[in-house]
Amino acid sequence: MLIIGEKINTSLKGIEEAVKTRNTVFIQNLASKQVESGADMIDVNVGTRIHTEVEDMRWIVKVVQQVVDVPLCIDSPNPEAIEAGLAEHRGKALVNSITAEKERIERILPLIKRFNSKIVALTIDDRGVPEDAERRCEIAEKLVKTLTENEIPLEDIYIDPVVHSISTNSKSGVMVLESIKKIATSFKGIHIICGLSNISFGLPKRGLLNRAFLLMAMAAGLDSVICDPQDKGIISAIKAGEALLGRDEYCAKYLAFFREGKL
């Protein structure tokens, strides 16, 4: 299970001020703590800094990679900010994200190819986010076809079926689970990712809902997640889920985390 730490995002409390004041120590400590807690990759998002996002993205990629030896997820709706982050990044990054929208493909695809990056592909097209699993899978198929025809390896593609909160649509979780199953069955070797906390937005005891949904999604085929790795409940659920789903030979990872006091 690929765990992507979500905490370096200027929409979260304290992060925008740290970026604005170039508080290197604060950002680097947050990056280090996420990796120590189990993150395999760090998401960096400075999207609320609309007027300085390009410069901020360049800075944050540089300072984070000074202290952690994991790749970054360059997360932005702005192609110029993505390009700046990729240009600064050491090694192979993950870009978040591309969609099936014509303009987005035209702007993002050349960057993926130029920097040889991995890519999160959202099941969104020019008509928006579909209300059913079938259409999401059709968009996933279109995205896979476009990306692979442009020599993006299947193993570098992370399909995101787009998680919305069950507080606004009680069927959102079921729809995503159905989408994950269909995509995992249709494209052997592809990765499936989601932003976990979206499922519980607006509801109490969000951690409980997040953990329950995570295990259901893993059973359906999810193999990557953007989450808070400092939440021991989430990490514990991932390690338990991997063991129960036969993804952890002799429960080695589960036992290692137990011995380290991380469960």
- Integer Cα distance of 154 and 191 in angstroms: 8
Average pLDDT, the chain: 97
Q: Which fold has domain 93-230?
A: TIM Barrel (3.20.20)
Per-residue pLDDT tens digits for 64-85: 999 999 999 999 999 999 999 9
b/e 44-75 (16+ beta carbons within 10 angstroms → b) = bbbbebeeebbebbbbbbebbbeebebbbbbb
How far is residue 192's CA from residue 185's CA, in Å, rounded to a whole number?
11
What does the pLDDT look like over 179-215, one tens digit per residue? 999 999 999 889 999 999 999 999 999 999 999 999 9
Contact call for residues 22 and 245 (beta carbons, < 8 A):
no
**pLDDT of res. 262:** 84
Domain boundaries defined on the chain: 1-91, 93-230
Of residues 90 and 262, more confidence is placed in 90
Joined tokens for residue 115: 């920097």
Tell me 66's DSSP state: T
Longest pairwise C-alpha distance within the chain: 51
Predicted confidence band at 171 (pLDDT cuts at 50, 70, 90)? very high
| Backbone φ/ψ region at 221: left (φ over 0), alpha (ψ -120 to 50), beta | left
Spatial CA neighbour of 175 closest among 133, 209, 124: 133
In contact, 2 and 222? CB cutoff 8 Å: no
Q: What is the DSSP letter of 72?
A: E
Contact 173, 213 (CB under 8 A): yes
* Residue where the block lists tokens 């893993």: 218
Distances (CA, A) of 247 to 33, 61, 238, 239: 25, 31, 11, 9
Residue range 114-157, pLDDT digits in tens: 999 999 999 999 999 998 999 999 999 999 999 999 999 999 99
Q: Residue 263's pLDDT is what?
A: 87
Instruction: Please count the other Cβ atoms lying within 10 Å of the Cβ belonging to residue 151.
Output: 9
Distance from the first to the final alpha carbon of the chain: 16
What is each CA distance from 6 to 33, 122, 227, 260, in whole angstroms?
12, 17, 5, 23
Average pLDDT for 3-28: 97
Residue 238 has φ and ψ, to the nearest 5°, of -60, -50
Q: Which residues pair with 160 in a beta bridge?
A: 122
Q: Where are the alpha helices (DSSP H) in the chain?
A: 15-20, 24-37, 53-65, 79-88, 102-115, 133-149, 172-186, 206-220, 232-244, 252-259
